[in-house]
């Protein structure tokens, strides 16, 4: 090209550039916005107040944790530089890393941490357990504080660093001092992303911007442990409840990531070369048939055992998806990725015979009492499973009725301890993630303290005894043994009947990098090219 | 012209009614039989319309669904038309009454059908009756307004004034002069109400306030199949097709009947 | 006339009051406790009881209603049980999308429905007439979500002419606002245009067989003039009524369209609120709806007097 033309061209370009500038900049910042399709509505902005998944995802973006567990559920320091034990393991000393700041640029101080632990301990199950062991707190200096324990509590790091809800998120002291029975109104945390309150439309969209003052750890990511590096400038959530629209938006490139794709639509997305569909959450979704232990017929352990004989996990899981690779039966009370996973004691669940169930039911002396299944129709998988429950129960000879309702009605009805024909209930299907059932401390549904247990109120002092032993177990080997014994007992009492698990997938566009396996929807480390 | 409309419309509707009444004999498969291993199959010799997401035979479900769908659609259309027409005519007959009745109708219109249905669920449980009552209540004000509007303008027609002056009884005026004017827009509105009832029924079963999940209706087959149309379009195609044919029949019948009833209509020549 | 309008608007007040009471009562009877849903799966009964108290849910219903009414009269619609945000603020955020969608749909439906109806009536029994009957029946029997998916699949996914979902406020530009609204507005209009078309046709047929039309034809008035100047004007009352009713129906059907196209409008807000039993939002939205219906109906009734001077109030 002749020099003159080149120069002319350059000056022409220079003339045009200011006009292009805006578009180019807009394109540049658009390239660094991660657009996520979220199925669930973000209503509450307080992860201690509610365990709802969207709020949990919000929590992980805006807040940070003192400790965090890795993919083997081993706790590592996160906000903490490290920890030490003193006084015969009765004092837990935590030192915060340098330079940690909240989004309002205030430094993170031990007072914030102490108040946050107390607020978390007021609501969360594992937190409440932890608080029973805690005698008090002591601030040593700007970055160091001590947790004084009544007796050694080796589970403390696992509690502080756990990945299932409610996590022990660190908030500014003023937020943490808000009554745990009320929601916090501010959105200031010390996590990798700042919440953009002015752009929030509850139920429609939410947005975050990278927090420039965030100091990530240097280690690579490993589940929720490791460096939580914010690799994009903005994150935008759009709430698209219609699965066809969500898929179309992903395919068209209007969105980058779908956090909970409808499993039946996966083949369509897999066929698209621009989309990656993969299991990101190694723990999957675990389905359970919760039983009411206070009313006939399931107040009779023999009837419960008969039911377990009739349940064929494959039947339930196949009702939800056609793709066999997504179906993972689980004959255990722990998740497949839990260190306590085993099939000990699970023989009753492997019987899978309607005839044997019928016989066992007769032997138990079942008198035709009405079984009421609370069927929530909003979630198609749960709705499908509820219908399989009805079908299975009918075939084994139970007098069963499936009552369809919406979630709010079910939430109220399941608090009833009355007979099933007077506004009570017999069973319902529910779903949890693997990290919710990883060990006896977090596992709500393994509690068998009667009135203090979850809906269904299983009452088995032996199970409670074994749970207590696990909590106090001094060595890993003993922990494993106690957990196994608890499972064997659980298969006798049947607080609920495990229905197996489905692989949890995510779908995203090919141009995203850094998507790593994690039991929660973690959006750090992910970048767009 | 009107003869053709009546013949075609009438025949199609009769076929649908026959399907509704005879479905137990026309269909071998049990519409409620679950078979998760054979979910979402394409049409084949074993399953003429294929299977749904729980492995149930779609042909059986669509044919059995005719019962509920015709019953719900017809009940809602009939009840809301009758009550709405009565209210609308009453309203248009007297100025003071008009002001009050129409304001009440404005109020009733503001109540979302879904809320009504969920509230009713407390009383009757999720059932077909629930759907019929909730949808009828919501549709009455619309019919009432339509009829009122028509009567207000018809009332001023010279032949009506003449009839009043001549001392013709109110009943005769209503039947001979007002009804023929009301029937055309009413039939259109009634067909629309029928269609809305079906769609609303689908929306309600989705949240558990409608037809129980194992009972087939075109509405709840469509609701269940929403996310799956790209995988198995037959799930939408067949129930929507049946719905279309039914509505077309009702429309054509309505047109034909109106022509027959109206003394002033001459066949196009 | 002014007196009439003022009287009508004043009557809106008791209507809204009664509707508010009816909805409140309905909510009281409806099973489902927002405190339960709010507290989540892991809350204990004591915690839920505390939440109920802090939300004022255990007060006697007449007290709660009275309190709500008092605040409402002072312009305060309360706060969402779930998010704690002001109801007025939440509704305000959702108004533009729903209003934009409705406006565009009404315009499209009238622009398509009325001419089609007139043309079909003019050529009664002809091809166009039968085409209209078939298309309009298809319009109502096709559930809105199917039409929505179909249109989105064709124009957005396959042809890539329009976006799949979302809403862009008018302040961000006319073109993006319009581009995002076309598919949802057309989806919503399908049914509405169908019913307007059919009522127009039915009403026109009535009028076209009148004596004065035959007289006009005999006098040599052009067919165009007959159709529009004479016939349509007289056929307009039922058409106007259906447009008015249609706006009411559209507001209801907008829920499905908003869902399919992920438009953050009032429809979705209402359904979510009903499912969560978020009482203040439900009451606030219903109040808004009743005011809207009153206004729309006043407007339609006024139009009657313009179109047909014989109608008087």
- What residues of chain C, 216 to 245, have a C-beta less than 8 Å from chain B? 237-238, 240-242, 244-245
**Backbone φ/ψ region at A223: left (φ over 0), alpha (ψ -120 to 50), beta:** left
pLDDT of A181 above 60:
yes
Query: Residue B61 is encoded by which pair of tokens?
Result: 């479900």
C180 CA: distance to closest CA in chain A (Å): 12
Q: What secondary structure does DSSP assign to B15-79, as a single string?
A: HHHHHHHHHHHH--S-TT---GGGTTPPP-SSSTT-B-TTS-BHHHHHHHHHHHHHHHHHHHHHH
CB A239 within 8 A of CB A43: no
- Decide if A405 and B206 are in contact by the 8 Å CB cutoff: no
pLDDT of A3 above 50:
no
CA dist., res. C80 & res. A41, Å (int): 14
CA dist., res. A459 & res. A457, Å (int): 6
pLDDT of residue A22: 38
Span C128-143, average pLDDT? 78
CA dist., res. B91 & res. C178, Å (int): 41
B40 CA: distance to closest CA in chain A (Å): 8
Nearest alpha-carbon partner for A147 in A157, A155, A137, A156:
A137
pLDDT of C36 above 70:
yes
pLDDT of residue B264: 55
CB A148 within 8 A of CB A90: yes
- B116 to B139, B209, C79, C274: CA distances (angstroms): 12, 10, 23, 10
Contacts of B230 in chain A (CB under 8 A): 244, 247, 265, 268
Half-sphere exposure (Cβ direction) of A104: Cα atoms closer than 13 Å: 10
Cβ neighbours, 10 Å, residue B95 = 10
Partners of residue A257 on adjacent β-strands: A36, A508
CB A206 within 8 A of CB A199: yes
C186 CA: distance to closest CA in chain A (Å): 16
ipTM of this predicted structure: 0.85
- Decide if C15 and B114 are in contact by the 8 Å CB cutoff: no
Nearest alpha-carbon partner for A191 in A167, A222, A164:
A167
CB-nearest partner of B125 from A242, A387, A403: A403
Span A420-448, average pLDDT? 90
pLDDT of residue A107: 96
> Which segments of chain C are extended strands (E)?
none
CB-nearest partner of A51 from C41, C90, C156: C41
User: Residue A405: enclosing H or E segment and its boundaries?
Assistant: strand A399-405
Mutate to test the interface with B, among A249, A314, A320, A322 (most CBs of B within 10 A): A322
pLDDT of A30 above 70:
no
Chain B contact for C131 (CB, 8 A cutoff): no
A405 CA: distance to closest CA in chain B (Å): 4
Coil/strand/helix, residue A344: coil
CB C112 within 8 A of CB C189: yes
pLDDT cut 70: percent of chain B above it: 93
pLDDT of residue A300: 95
CA dist., res. A113 & res. C250, Å (int): 52
Query: Residue B97 is encoded by which pair of tokens?
Result: 């009454």
- Decide if A402 and B214 are in contact by the 8 Å CB cutoff: yes
pLDDT of residue A388: 95
Using DSSP bridges, classify how beta strands A427-433 and A370-376 pair: parallel, antiparallel or unpaired: parallel
Nearest alpha-carbon partner for A256 in A514, A519, A446, A520:
A514
Confidence category of residue A8, pLDDT binned at 50, 70, 90: very low
Span B177-201, average pLDDT? 78
CB pairs under 8 A between A and C: 124
pLDDT of C290 above 70:
yes
Q: Helices B234-261 and B2-26, interaxial angle, to 10°?
A: 140
Q: C193-251 pLDDT, tens per residue?
A: 888 888 888 888 878 877 777 787 788 777 777 777 777 777 777 788 888 877 877 87
Round the average pLDDT of chain A to a whole number and report it.
Answer: 90
- Decide if A202 and C275 are in contact by the 8 Å CB cutoff: no
CA dist., res. A208 & res. A197, Å (int): 9
- Decide if C164 and A245 are in contact by the 8 Å CB cutoff: yes
CB A96 within 8 A of CB A79: yes
Q: Is the dihedral of CA A331, A333, A338, A341 positive or negative?
A: negative
The residue whose two tokens read 């027409």 is B85
pLDDT of residue A4: 45
Half-sphere exposure (Cβ direction) of A219: Cα atoms closer than 13 Å: 13
Nearest chain A residue to C94 by CA distance is: A201
CA dist., res. A337 & res. A332, Å (int): 11
CA dist., res. B216 & res. A383, Å (int): 15
CA dist., res. A210 & res. A230, Å (int): 6
Partners of residue B246 on adjacent β-strands: none
Q: CB neighbours of C66 closer than 8 A, spacing ≥ 6?
A: none
Cβ neighbours, 10 Å, residue A193 = 27
* Burial of B148 per CB tally in 10 Å (0-12, 13-18, 19+): buried
Q: A38-55 pLDDT, tens per residue?
A: 888 888 899 998 888 899
Question: Chain centroid to CA C180: how far?
Answer: 19
A456 CA: distance to closest CA in chain C (Å): 12
Query: Residue A282 is encoded by which pair of tokens?
Result: 């190694």
pLDDT of residue A272: 94
CB-nearest partner of C82 from A44, A252, A413: A44
- Decide if B142 and C142 are in contact by the 8 Å CB cutoff: no
pLDDT of residue A501: 95
CA dist., res. A462 & res. A489, Å (int): 8
∠ at Cα A303 (A302, A306), nearest 5°?
Answer: 90
CB-nearest partner of C141 from B113, B115, B244: B244
Span B209-233, average pLDDT? 84
A97 CA: distance to closest CA in chain C (Å): 33
Contacts of C27 in chain A (CB under 8 A): none
The residue whose two tokens read 């805690």 is A134
pLDDT cut 90: percent of chain A above it: 74
CA dist., res. B42 & res. B235, Å (int): 9
Nearest alpha-carbon partner for A226 in A517, A510, A437:
A517
pLDDT of residue A21: 36
């Amino acid at each position: 090209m002749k020099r003159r033309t080149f120069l002319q061209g350059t000056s022409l370009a220079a003339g045009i550039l200011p006009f292009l500038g805006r578009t180019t900049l807009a394109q540049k910042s658009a390239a660094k916005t991660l657009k996520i399709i979220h199925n669930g509505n973000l209503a509450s902005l307080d992860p201690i107040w509610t365990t709802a998944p969207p709020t949990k995802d919000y929590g992980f973006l805006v807040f940070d944790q003192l400790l965090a567990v890795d993919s083997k559920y081993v706790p590592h320091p996160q906000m903490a530089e490290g920890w030490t034990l003193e006084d015969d393991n009765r004092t837990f000393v935590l030192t915060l890393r340098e330079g940690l700041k909240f989004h309002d640029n205030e430094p993170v101080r031990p007072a914030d941490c102490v108040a946050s632990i107390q607020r978390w301990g007021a609501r969360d199950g594992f937190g409440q357990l932890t608080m029973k062991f805690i005698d008090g707190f002591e601030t040593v200096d700007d970055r160091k504080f001590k947790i004084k324990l009544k007796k050694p509590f080796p589970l403390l790091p696992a509690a502080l660093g756990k990945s299932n809800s409610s996590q022990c998120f660190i908030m500014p002291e003023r937020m943490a001092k808000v009554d745990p029975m009320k929601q916090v109104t501010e959105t200031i945390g010390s996590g990798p992303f700042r919440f953009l309150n002015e752009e929030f439309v509850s139920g429609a969209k939410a947005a975050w911007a990278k927090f420039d003052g965030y100091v990530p750890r240097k280690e690579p990511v490993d589940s929720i442990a490791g460096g939580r590096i914010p690799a994009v400038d903005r994150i935008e959530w759009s709430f698209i409840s219609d699965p066809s629209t969500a898929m179309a938006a992903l395919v068209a490139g209007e969105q980058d990531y779908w956090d909970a794709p409808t499993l039946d639509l996966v083949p369509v997305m897999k066929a698209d070369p621009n989309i990656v569909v993969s299991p990101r959450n190694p723990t999957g979704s675990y389905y359970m048939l919760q039983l009411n232990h206070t009313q006939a017929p399931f107040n009779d352990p023999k009837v419960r055992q008969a039911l377990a004989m009739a349940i064929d996990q494959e039947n339930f899981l196949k009702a939800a998806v056609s793709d066999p690779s997504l179906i993972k039966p689980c004959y255990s009370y722990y998740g497949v990725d839990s260190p306590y996973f085993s099939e000990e004691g699970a023989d009753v669940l492997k019987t899978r015979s309607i005839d044997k169930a019928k016989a066992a039911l007769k032997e138990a002396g079942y008198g035709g009492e009405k079984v009421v299944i609370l069927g929530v129709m909003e979630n198609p998988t749960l709705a499908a499973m509820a219908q399989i429950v009805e079908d299975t129960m009918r075939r084994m000879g139970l007098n069963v009725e499936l009552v369809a309702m919406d979630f709010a009605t079910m939430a109220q009805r399941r608090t009833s301890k009355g007979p099933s024909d007077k506004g009570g209930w017999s069973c319902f299907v529910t779903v949890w993630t693997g990290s919710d059932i990883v060990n006896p401390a977090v596992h709500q549904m393994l509690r068998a303290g009667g009135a203090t247990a979850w809906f269904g109120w299983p009452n088995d002092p032996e199970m409670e005894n074994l749970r207590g032993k696990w909590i106090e177990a001094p060595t890993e080997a003993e922990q494993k043994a106690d957990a196994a014994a608890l499972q064997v007992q659980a298969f006798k009492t049947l607080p609920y009947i495990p229905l197996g698990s489905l692989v949890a997938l995510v779908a995203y566009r090919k141009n995203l990098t850094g998507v790593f396996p994690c039991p929660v929807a973690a959006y750090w480390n992910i970048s767009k090219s | 012209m009107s003869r053709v409309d009546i013949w075609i419309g009438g025949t199609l509707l009769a076929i649908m009614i026959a399907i509704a009444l005879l479905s137990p004999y026309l269909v071998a498969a049990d519409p409620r039989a679950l078979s998760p291993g054979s979910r979402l199959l394409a049409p084949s010799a074993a399953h003429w319309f294929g299977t749904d997401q729980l492995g149930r035979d779609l042909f059986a479900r669509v044919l059995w669904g005719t019962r509920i769908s015709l019953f719900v659609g017809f009940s809602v259309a009939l009840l809301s038309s009758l009550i709405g027409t009565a209210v609308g005519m009453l309203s248009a007959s007297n100025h003071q009454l008009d002001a009050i009745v129409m304001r009440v109708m404005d109020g009733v219109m503001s109540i979302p059908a879904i809320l009504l249905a969920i509230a009713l669920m407390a009383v009757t449980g999720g059932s077909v009756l629930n759907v019929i009552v909730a949808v009828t209540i919501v549709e009455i004000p619309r019919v009432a307004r339509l009829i009122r509007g028509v009567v207000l303008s018809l009332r001023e027609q010279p032949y009506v004034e003449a009839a009043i002056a001549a001392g013709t009884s109110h009943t005769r005026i209503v039947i001979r002069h007002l009804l023929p004017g009301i029937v055309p827009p009413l039939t259109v509105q009634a067909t629309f109400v029928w269609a809305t009832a079906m769609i609303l029924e689908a929306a309600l079963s989705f949240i558990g306030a409608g037809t129980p999940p194992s009972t087939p209706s075109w509405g709840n087959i469509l609701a269940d199949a929403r996310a799956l149309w790209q995988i198995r379009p037959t799930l939408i195609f067949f129930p929507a097709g049946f719905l279309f044919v039914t509505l077309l029949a009702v429309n054509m019948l309505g047109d034909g009947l109106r022509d027959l009833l109206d003394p002033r209509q001459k066949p196009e020549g | 006339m002014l007196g009439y309008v003022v009287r009508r608007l004043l009557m809106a007040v008791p209507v809204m009051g009664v509707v508010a009471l009816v909805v409140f009562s309905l909510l009281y009877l409806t099973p489902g406790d927002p405190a339960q849903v709010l507290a989540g799966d892991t809350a204990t009964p004591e915690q839920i009881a505390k939440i109920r108290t802090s939300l004022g849910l255990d007060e006697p219903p007449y007290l709660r209603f009275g309190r709500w009414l008092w605040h409402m009269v002072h312009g305060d619609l309360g706060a969402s049980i779930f998010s704690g945000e002001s109801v007025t603020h939440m509704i305000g955020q959702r108004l533009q999308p729903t209003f934009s969608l409705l406006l565009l749909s009404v315009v499209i439906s009238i622009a398509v429905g009325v001419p089609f109806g007139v043309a079909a009536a003019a050529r009664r029994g002809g091809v166009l007439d039968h085409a209209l009957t078939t298309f309009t029946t298809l319009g109502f029997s096709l559930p809105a979500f199917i039409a929505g998916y179909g249109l989105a699949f064709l124009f957005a996914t396959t042809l890539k002419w329009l976006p799949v979902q979302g809403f862009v406020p008018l302040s961000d530009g006319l073109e993006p606002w319009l581009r995002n609204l076309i598919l949802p507005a057309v989806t919503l209009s399908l049914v509405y245009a169908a019913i307007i078309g059919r009522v127009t046709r039915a009403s026109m047929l009535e009028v076209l067989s009148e004596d004065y039309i035959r007289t006009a034809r005999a006098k040599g008035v052009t067919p165009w003039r007959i159709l529009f100047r004479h016939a349509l004007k007289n056929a307009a009352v039922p058409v106007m009524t259906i447009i008015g009713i249609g706006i009411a129906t559209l507001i209801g059907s907008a829920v499905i369209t908003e869902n399919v196209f992920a438009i953050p409008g009032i429809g979705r807000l209402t359904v979510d609120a009903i499912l969560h039993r978020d009482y203040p939002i439900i009451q606030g939205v219903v109040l808004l709806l009743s005011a809207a219906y009153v206004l729309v109906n006043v407007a339609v009734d006024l139009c009657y007097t313009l179109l047909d001077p014989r109608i008087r109030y």
